[in-house]
A and B are shown apart, each in its own frame.
Chain A
Amino acid sequence: MNERPLTKTLLTKPCCEDDAPGNVNAGDPRVALVGNPNVGKSTLFNMLTGARQRIGNWPGKTVSVAQGTWRSPHGDITLIDLPGTYSLLPGSPDEALTRDLLVDRGMDGRPDLVVITVDAANLARNLYLLAQVMETGVPLVVALTMVDIAKSRGIRIDAGRLAELVGAPVVPVVPRRGEGVDELGRVIGEALAAPRRPAVPVLGADLEAALESVTAEVPGEAAARYPARWLSIALLAGEPVPGVPEETTAAARALGTALNTDDDLDDPELLIAEQRYAWVHEVIADVVTRNSAGHATWSDRVDRVLTSRWVGPPIFLGVMWAVFVLTTTVAEPLMTGLQGLFDGPVATGAGRLLDAMGAGDAIRGLVMNGLVSGVGQVLSFVPLMAIMFVLLSVLEDSGYLARAAFVVDRLMRLIGLPGRAFLPLIVGFGCNVPALAGTRILSDRRHRLLTGLLIPFVTCSARLTVYVLVATAFFGSAAGTVVFAMYVLSIALVIGMGLVLRGTLFRGMAEEPLVLDLPPYRLPAVRVIGAQTWLKLQAFLKTASGIIVATVTLVWLFSSIPFGGQGSFGRTPIEHSVFGAASHAVAPAFAPAGFGDWHASAALITGFVAKEAVVSTMAQTYSMGEPADGNEPGGLGAALRATIEQTSNGHPIPAVLAFLVFLLAYTPCMTTVAAQRAEIGGRLTLFGIGMQLTLAWLLAVAVFQIGSLFL
């Protein structure tokens, strides 16, 4: 009878979402937080909403957005924390949200108010975005953040004068210390009660004249749907806008092109950007006083070390090593402890409860082997995911991640990915599940998809336990070399498949030149990291638990149902269960790889659920105990050797290498599948599974067929 859970581990899934932003508390005023990346926007959001927040998917997009309820003195307000952006002309799906909310949804779909965070220590770039938001005419309030950093650099900003020029209130805040937050709340309340349009940045005489002509030509329907100033600028820049007749667009574009007298400025969009910056610098000249100029900041001095040619790369490797250690060795005892709690006290308690209720074998099996075991697996991954989410936040919020991306950029370009993709791939060596969550640090969707497809080829620590057992049984003292070779092969697979996918499915993926804003180094705010981690964990539990409990239950069910008339439910030997029959049926497919035996295929089937289950399944199918130490495979090793000797026609070495290669390359586990589905969508996940199985089989067959010529 099979009482032992077939799977012993697993995973997660990180994100998200069911509640679309804006669908909650529909009666409350909606306020959107807009701003450049890394300017304290999310800190402000967390400060205002506390725990009353959730992550939701943006309608029609794959990007998730945090929203929350702010219990302001003026009543409840729904706050939407939009991803950081530099511009309303979107360069990534994250950035597109701001434009979507402020412009594309039409005047009725806009938020009641925009709070735009403006970094006082880097005013020019932040005022550029402010200029664009002002052009949409949406009522706004400026939260002037980083005033403490600006002050330490001798930069003083006249907030009152800035408010006059912008035509909207300006409130200096230091969100992490809560300074200015009450005042901001008061000002937002007033702005909601009496909304007013901000001023309009003036873009120079020539552009203004052209804009006036364009505005006169726009048909009434389109003019009613979009903010007038924004629409004229978009048309002048040559941007097609839905609902605007083609001839109007063409005429505006011609007008824009005629503005350029300089050959280098053949694009009106650039002229507009230039004029916006001219406005920005006029504003700065009016509101900023500097006590010191041009001194290198301490952040610059740190950068001289962390981004330098010689010291940067070793420090980067050290940080990656620390992330790897924290997501493996530190998480491991926590995971084991939680799993032990479920296998021990929780299972015992549930068993007693079931006895007291007089539950039958079927109910008992379902609860113990399905529910308790599945939930235990999901929860055992919580510490690992929490550590990963915290590390991601710390790296990102401290400013180091941007430097790391710069240091390793060239290397990752080899497979067409930006430097940031290094982090999720490295984490994958510990566990693929948090690695998939880590793909969120990539701003380009196609980069996220490609990285998400490559991560399963990174050999995780769960696969290591199987390598060690099998390699020790067959190679004795040379086992270490074989295991090392599996790691080398894993890296080769990531690079090789990266090149293949880039040349096929991801052909034409723009090789993004590296242009990376480096925020000043900062101590991450504990409160923000805590809130973000909690949000992501909740989302993970919500999405991952169902698929994992269902899979664990199915495996238990199939190994309990007798097949072919032997035994009764829950009392049949595994070989004669539906699971055993399926393993027998699949086994011939592995004959060309030299391991066409039901013991091997049964282990690989449960390995699809969790690699940790491979060894325990082998033990079950051979009716032996699981070896306590993989380095001493004992009787299980001998039984495995005998099987492989037989199936490989006397070529056990290539056959077992083929088995290991298959184990490396095929689908890591159900939790990875769940995480992949969350990150890259169901269709690409299915494609990924197909790709992994095909590649694993082809490689295994090649290894055995070629290897058996020599060994």
Chain B
Amino acid sequence: MGPGEFARGALMRLSRVTGDRRHRRRLAELGFVPGAVLSVLNRGMHGGLVLALGDGRVAVDALTATTLVVEPAGE
């Protein structure tokens, strides 16, 4: 599932990131590593998302959002 399919505020756990090496590395450096817990804070135009990742806030475009494979995470 992609994070765009989750309701605002719902917690999800990152399974993996798809895409090329550079993209995955960059996301990993920002904390997008398997097991990381995220939630959608806001939806922008054209499918862009503002995500909460721990204490950090990261904006991603629609394309990047589709490279994040997530599953629901319980409270």
Chain A positions within 8 Å of B, measured between CB atoms, are: 86-87, 89, 91, 121-125, 128, 153, 155, 264-265, 267, 269-270, 273-274, 277, 296, 299-300, 303-304, 307-309, 312-313, 402-403, 405-407, 409-410, 513-518, 520
Contact B42 A304 (CB under 8 A): yes
Question: How far apart are the CA atoms of A253 and B36 in the complex, in Å?
Answer: 27
| Contact call B61/A410, Cβ cutoff below 8 A | yes
Find out whether the CB atom of B29 lies under 8 angstroms from the CB atom of A86. yes
In the complex, what distance in Å separates the CA atom of A277 from the CA atom of B56?
Answer: 14
In the complex, are the beta carbons of B21 and A277 less than 8 A apart? no
Q: Return 16 A-B CB contacts under 8 Å, by A number.
A: A124-B55, A125-B30, A125-B56, A153-B55, A277-B31, A300-B57, A303-B42, A304-B42, A309-B45, A312-B44, A409-B61, A513-B64, A514-B48, A514-B61, A515-B30, A520-B57
Contact call B46/A410, Cβ cutoff below 8 A? yes
For the complex, give the distance between the alpha carbons of A270 and B50 in Å: 23
- Smallest Cβ distance from A150 to chain B, in angstroms? 8
Contact A406 B56 (CB under 8 A): no
Within 8 Å by CB of A155, from B24, B41, B52, B55, lies B55
The answer on a CB contact under 8 Å between A515 and B25 is no
What's the nearest-Cβ distance from chain A to residue B12, in Å? 14
Q: How far is the CA of A274 from the CA of B29 in the complex (A)?
A: 9
Q: A273-B29, A300-B52 are in contact. List 11 more A-B contacts (CB 8 A).
A: A89-B25, A125-B30, A267-B25, A273-B28, A274-B28, A277-B33, A300-B57, A307-B44, A309-B44, A514-B59, A517-B57
A409 to B45, CA, bound (A): 9
A42 to chain B: closest CB distance in Å?
A: 20
A406 touches which of B21, B50, B54, B67 (Cβ 8 Å): B50
**Bound-complex Cα distance A121 to B57 (A):** 11
A402 to B50: give the CA distance in the assembly, Å: 11
Interface size on B, as a range, is 35 or more
Cβ distance A402 to chain B, nearest Cβ, rounded Å? 7
Known: A515-B27, A518-B57. A407 touches B44 (CB 8 A): yes
Given contacts A277-B33, A307-B42, A406-B48, contact A517 B21 (CB under 8 A): no
Contact present for A89 and B29 (CB under 8 Å): yes
Task: Kindly provide the distance from the CB of B74 to the nearest chain A CB, expressed in whole angstroms.
Answer: 13
Give chain A's interface secondary structure class.
helix
- Chain B residue nearest to A270 (CB atoms) is B28
> A274–B50 contact, CB under 8 A?
no
By a CB distance below 8 angstroms, the chain A residues around B41 are 296, 300, 303-304
| Closest residue on chain A to residue B23 by CB atoms | A513
- Residues of B near A402 (CB, < 8 A) are 59
Residues of A within 8 Å of B30, CB to CB, are: 86, 125, 515, 517
Kindly identify which residue among A299, A304, A313, A516 contacts B59, using a CB–CB cutoff of 8 Å: A516
Is there an interface contact between B29 and A128, defined as CB atoms closer than 8 Å?
yes
Asked whether A267 and B44 contact (CB < 8 A) given A274-B28, A277-B31, A515-B26, the answer is: no
Are A513 and B63 interface neighbours, CB within 8 A?
yes
A124–B46 alpha-carbon span in the complex (Å): 29
Tell whether B58 is near chain A: CB-to-CB under 8 Å: yes
In contact, A406 and B44 (Cβ under 8 angstroms): yes
**Minimum Cβ distance to chain B for residue A193 (Å):** 34
Contacts of A87 in B (CB 8 A): 29
Task: Assess whether B25 is in contact with A406, with CB atoms less than 8 Å apart.
Answer: no
Identity of the chain B residue whose Cβ is nearest the Cβ of A405 in the assembled complex? B59
Best-buried of B30, B52, B54 by chain A (most CB within 10 Å): B30
Tell me the complex Cα distance, A128–B28, Å. 10
Q: Which of B1-59 contact A (CB under 8 A)?
A: 16, 19, 21, 23-31, 33-34, 36, 41-46, 48, 50, 52, 54-59
Q: Is the CB of A518 within 8 A of B63?
A: no
Chain B residues with Cβ under 8 A from A274's Cβ?
28, 33-34
Per the bound structure, the CA–CA distance linking A517 and B63 in Å amounts to 16
Q: Are A270 and B55 in contact (CB under 8 A)?
A: no
Asked if B55 and A121 sit within 8 Å, CB to CB, the answer is: yes
Indicate whether A515 sits within 8 Å of B60 (C-beta atoms), given known contacts A124-B54, A267-B24, A303-B41. Answer: yes
Assuming A273-B25, A409-B48, A410-B46, is B31 touching A125 (CB within 8 A)? yes
Q: A267-B21, A269-B25, A270-B24 are in contact. Are A122 and B54 (CB under 8 A)?
A: yes
Contact B44 A516 (CB under 8 A): no
User: Is there an interface contact between B57 and A303, defined as CB atoms closer than 8 Å?
Assistant: yes
Min CB distance, B27 to chain A, in Å? 6
Name the residue of chain A whose CB is nearest to the CB of B19. Answer: A513
- Pairwise interchain contact A514-B60, C-beta atoms closer than 8 A: yes
What CA separation (Å) do A516 and B36 show in the bound complex?
17
Closest 8 CB pairs of A and B: A514-B61, A273-B28, A518-B57, A406-B59, A513-B64, A516-B59, A87-B29, A410-B46
With A125-B56, A406-B50, A517-B56 as given contacts, are A313 and B45 in contact (CB-CB < 8 Å)? yes
Q: How far is the CA of A86 from the CA of B58 in the complex (A)?
A: 13
Residues of chain B lying within 8 A (CB to CB) of residue A296? 41
Tell me the minimal C-beta distance from B8 to chain A in angstroms: 9
Q: Which residues of A contact B59 (CB under 8 A)?
A: 307, 402-403, 405-406, 514-516, 518
Residues from chain B with Cβ under 8 Å of A122 in the complex: 54-56
Among B30, B44, B46, B54, residue most surrounded by chain A Cβ atoms (within 10 Å):
B44
Contact in complex: A124, B44 (CB < 8 Å): no
- Inter-chain CA distance A121–B54, complex, in Å, is 10
- Point out the residues of chain B lying under 8 angstroms from A514, CB to CB: 48, 59-61, 64
Residues of A within 8 A of B28 (CB): 269-270, 273-274, 277
* Distance in angstroms between the alpha carbons of A304 and B63 in the assembled complex: 21
Closest to B43 in A: A309
Q: Which residue of A lies closest to B9 (CB)?
A: A296
Which residues of A lie under 8 Å from residue B24 when comparing CB positions?
Answer: 267, 270
Write out the residue numbers on chain B whose beta carbons fall within 8 Å of the beta carbon of A300. Answer: 41, 52, 57
List residues of chain A with CB within 8 A of the CB of B31. 124-125, 128, 277
Chain A nearest CB: distance from B6 CB in Å? 15
- Which has the most chain B C-beta neighbours within 10 Å: A91, A264, A269, A513? A513
Partner pick for B45 among A89, A403, A410, CB 8 A cutoff: A410
- Given known pairs A125-B31, A273-B29, A303-B42, the reply for A518 and B58 (CB within 8 Å) is yes
User: Is the CB–CB distance between A517 and B29 below 8 Å?
Assistant: no
Query: A403: which B residues are within 8 A, CB to CB?
Result: 59
Q: Chain A CB within 10 Å — which of B27, B43, B58 has the most?
A: B58
Report Cα–Cα, A663/B39, bound state, in Å.
Answer: 52
A513-B34 in contact (CB<8A): no
With CB as the reference atom, state the residue of chain B lying closest to A149. Answer: B55
Which chain B positions have C-beta within 8 A of A307?
42, 44, 50, 59
CB of B29 within 8 A of CB of A516, answer no
CA distance A313 to B50 in the complex (A): 15
CA distance A269 to B28 in the complex (A): 9
Q: How far is the CA of A409 from the CA of B64 in the complex (A)?
A: 13
In the bound assembly, the distance between CA atoms of A579 and B22 in angstroms comes to 55
With the chains together, A514 CA to B58 CA distance in Å?
Answer: 10
Q: Looking across the interface, which residue of chain B has its beta carbon closest to that of A310? A: B45
Contacts of A269 in B (CB 8 A): 21, 25, 28
* B25: nearest chain-A partner, CB-CB: A269
